[in-house]
Amino acid sequence: MTTTSEAERRAMQRALALAVTPGVPLGPNPRVGCVLLAADGATIAEGFHRGAGTAHAEAAALAEAGDAARGATAVVTLEPCNHTGRTGPCSEALVAAGVRRVVYAQPDANPVAVGGAGRLREAGIEVVGGVMIEEAQAINRAWTFAVARRRPFVTWKFATTLDGRSAAPDGTSRWVSSRAARLDTHRLRGLCDTMLVGTGTVEVDDPELTVRDEVDEPVAVQPLRAVMGLRDLGPDRRIFNDRAETVHLRTRDPGEALARLHELDRQHVFLEGGPALARAFLSAGLVDEVVAYVAPMLLGAGTSAVADLGITTIADALHLHVTDVAVLQGHDGEDTNVRLTMKPLTTPRRA
């Protein structure tokens, strides 16, 4: 079994840090870092991918290294690509540069780009894969999921009272979530490339669905606004203003909606619709993460956070695993919500 040196592992840690350099977009391309090492383990050059259409991490590092790349070891967070898109194949660039060894973390599951490791081995280059693979997958969570599943990763976000109400009987819901929770929601919106609601939410709430200026670092490009449903919507709805791109998905089927978004190269959907849309995605088993903002209040009646899932006995309950808990507290100490991040463990049973 081929092993890696301590210098190579340190280089991989550095490559992972390069991949997430501030300002690098979350998609549609994966974030990738690369470090070139000399025979004695010293760093020759570094590079990282800055977004679609720019030089890949390997190409950036090779350009910095010049002739010093000959005989070097390339440490890269993703298997070098083997296709020509906006840029040439990284596998061919590494071969041409005379690199002796390539150590990579995550295999490239993209059917268009796959095959880089094989091409390198054919050229006589020593290749080691799977080094710090979990860390590499984590920095490209949505991209990794979308490539493997052929659909976007779905995060369902909702705000609720302690008794599971998202709005009072008269429809008012403005203060179910605290200001701190609303700011946190905008932060999470900025981590996604698509925000999805139903036509009913657009008609009733008329949301703009943008990442607001209150976030610490305004996003360079607003996420796509997607509205799902068959009914026509008036052009005066705020979701159709010029602050972001909008697409109307004329279907009630969550699978069809996600397939269309996948065709648009979207990888992470932030589901912010009402209880009926949440039920549709949960029932279809198409929710991958749940973010709930829980307010310390009781209503006793009103709109439920999710519509009837058809569950009549506790044995059929949809179970979730809590992955993170955070207390979001305002400056006055009273404007407090709890954020629960969870992943579904089961899908509701259908009658």
Radius of gyration of the chain (CA): 23
How distant, in Å, are the alpha carbons of 110, 183, 234 from that of 94? 19, 44, 54
Report the distance separating Cα 321 and Cα 184, nearest Å. Answer: 21
Which residue type is seen at 21?
T
Which residue type is seen at 310?
G
Q: Residue 153's closest CA among 19, 61, 43, 28? A: 28
Q: Residue 7's closest CA among 37, 44, 45? A: 37
Phi, psi of 228, deg, nearest 5: -115, 130
Helix (H, G, I), strand (E, B) or coil at 326: strand
Task: Please state whether beta strands 268-271 and 153-161 pair in parallel, antiparallel, or not at all (unpaired).
Answer: parallel
Q: Tell me 236's DSSP state.
A: T
**Alpha-helical runs (H) found in 163-294:** 179-189, 199-205, 254-263, 275-283
Q: Tell me which of 6, 8, 46, 58 is the catalytic residue.
A: 58
Report the distance separating Cα 258 and Cα 90, nearest Å. Answer: 31
Which residue type is seen at 45?
A
58 part of the active site: yes
Q: Which residues are catalytic?
A: 58
